[in-house]
Structure 1
Amino acid sequence: MSGRRVVDRGSFGRNANLPNALTLLRILLVPVFAWLLLADGGDDTSLRWWAAVVFVVAAATDRLDGWLARRQGSVTTFGIVADPIADKALTGAGFVGLSLLGILPWWVTAVVLVREVGVTVLRAVVIRHTVVPASRGGKLKTVLQTVALALLVAPLPELLRYAGWAVMVAAVVVTVVTGVQYAVAILGAARRHRAEVRTRAREAAERRRR
């Protein structure tokens, strides 16, 4: 978080700012998007278009709130916790919704969700002593998932749907590859931390013996 000032005054009211409001809006849009996507079994073309519009608007708030937070030079505890939750809730709703409609195979949704949950859990385990920042691959994964979901949610002509499937294939590949990379980086950081702790413990014991 170089160049940022973390603002944590102990209450959401005092943490309220425009980036956090956009994050909260994204969370609130998730059930709206899911309802529009699944209503009438996904057969209502107008509702599917509205679902696509809501999804794109919600995804855009992710870029906007991050840009605003960087411009203001500060982040809040609420934003740190809620922003990734909002992102994963939105894309997760898209994957699960498309699988419920029979558009997307369940194995694709399972692979993506297992990757997202797994990386989140690993980060939570090591967050006290190390932080693994988002990589370029991780950011590319998010972009590919967002574009693929938007193309498959919208009731587009068949040719454009093929484009959506092409992007989805790329998204799944990048999702798996970056998931493995994150796991290796996180576990490596955890091992290094344990080694440092053991080294400091040995040095402290040696000083006491002297």
Structure 2
Amino acid sequence: MGGTANGEADRRVWTIPNVLSMLRLALVPVFLVYLVLGDYVAALIVLVAASLSDLLDGFLARRLNQVTRLGQLLDPAADRLYIFAALVGLAAGGLVPWWIVVVVVARDVFLLVLGIVLANHGYGPLPVHQLGKVATFALFFGLPVIMLGLAVPALEPITEPVGWAITLWGAFLYWWAGVIYAIETARVIRIAPVAPDV
């Protein structure tokens, strides 16, 4: 999402899109509990509701000119938390290996370190790379496909290989995007600030 014409509005907290994002975040533990309990139908219903609210808050933010800095933080945070919750819930049930959890979480820890390095050099976070968006979408789509087979066993022969293919591809792209961020971070911190002409 971009900025708004009004800088003051950009700092608002209580907008309709932000409230929807907060509700989506509040549903993360509900989603995780259903997963751990093995109620995959209920977990999928929560995930679908969260995904629809994600689409709705993005549409409303642009339509109502309510794109805010908080919303720009909440949206990716919610996406990552649902991915983590899905991975942890499925791994806890022995349905996916823990190494896939480590791979995805390690990448975000890696980006956090890059963010600290940038901050120490006086730079803000790098803009989101398109590849990172594709990777997040792949993970956000692949894991529910795996869950669909658990909720509807008749579909599992199809959904399990398809879901795993998308999830593994998403994990690969996730790290590929991380490497791109690392290269861009190294490039940025090498550039010395240019002193203004007196």
Question: Under a length normalisation based on structure 1, what TM-score does the superposition of the two structures give?
Answer: 0.78
Matches within 5 A, 1:1-210: 4-5=4-5, 6-7=7-8, 15-39=13-37, 42=38, 47-123=39-115, 125-126=117-118, 129-154=123-148, 155=150, 156=152, 157-192=156-191, 195-196=192-193, 199-200=194-195
1:168, distance to aligned residue in structure 2 (A): 1.2
SS in structure 1 of the partner of residue 126 of structure 2: coil
Deviations 1:155-197 (CA, angstroms, capped at 9, x unpaired):
24222211111111211111111111122213322332xx11x
Task: Compare CA radii of gyration and give the structure with the larger one.
Answer: 1
Could you tell me which runs of 5 or more consecutive residues in structure 1 were left unpaired when the two chains were aligned.
none
SS in structure 2 of the partner of residue 134 of structure 1: coil
1:125, distance to aligned residue in structure 2 (A): 4.8
SS in structure 1 of the partner of residue 123 of structure 2: coil
Deviations 1:28-74 (CA, angstroms, capped at 9, x unpaired):
110110011111xx2xxxx2111012112213323332232233334
What is the one-letter code of the residue matched to 2:127? P
Q: Cα gap change, 1:66/1:125 in structure 2, threshold over 3 Å: closer, same or farther?
A: farther
SS in structure 2 of the partner of residue 123 of structure 1: helix
Number of residues paired by the alignment? 190
Q: What is the distance in 2 between the residues matched to 1:103 and 1:161? A: 11
Could you tell me which runs of 5 or more consecutive residues in structure 2 were left unpaired when the two chains were aligned.
none
Judge conservation of contact 1:152–1:161 (CA < 8 Å) in 2: yes
Judge conservation of contact 1:141–1:175 (CA < 8 Å) in 2: yes
Q: Say what the alpha-carbon RMSD is for the aligned residues.
A: 2.5
Judge conservation of contact 1:23–1:83 (CA < 8 Å) in 2: yes
